[in-house]
Amino acid sequence: MPEIIEFGSLQLRFLRDKHDTAGSLDMFELVLQPEGRMPVPHYHESWEETVYGIDGTVTYTVEGQDHDVGPGDSLFIPRGQVHGFTNRSGAVVRCLCILTPGVLGPEYFRELAALLAAGQPDPAKAREIMLRYGLVPA
């Protein structure tokens, strides 16, 4: 059964990860509530990200340019490019996210979810977690 990790307005359902793909990829379904967003724009040091729209429309901002990803649309984000996302659509969004190679795994999301669930999130601690897993806040 796929692992589900929830925090804030985000829900991730891991379908494959670095552990069962020998590091080839991480793949998860992202469910994002209306007005939900990636709290910290960032870039990845060691992997690319491909996003495929399933339901609703999410807006990814990559290197300052907005890209709407709706059902059937895809977006490729090369490593090193600053990005974030927002759901401005007023509806729940679902998309498939594929990280290649698979070096992140669900551990990052588990740790960040635990930090947020503990109450007032500590921005310095969140930054430390991001950096430890190869996400660089912009």
Q: Packing angle between helix 123-132 and helix 107-117, nearest 10 degrees?
A: 170
pLDDT of residue 136: 96
Q: Residue 110's CB: how many other CB atoms inside 10 A?
A: 15
Alpha-carbon distance 22 to 8, whole Å? 30
**pTM metric for this prediction:** 0.93
DSSP 3-state percent helix, strand, coil across the chain (nearest 5): 15, 45, 40
User: What is d(CA 59, CA 119) in angstroms, rounded to the nearest whole number?
Assistant: 28
- The yes-or-no verdict on residue 89 having pLDDT over 70 is yes
pLDDT at 1: 65
Label residue 119 by pLDDT band (50, 70, 90): confident
Q: What letter would DSSP give residue 64?
A: T
List CB contacts of 129: < 8 A, sequence separation 6 or more.
108, 111, 112, 115
Which domains does the chain show, CATH number per domain?
Answer: 3-137 (2.60.120.10)
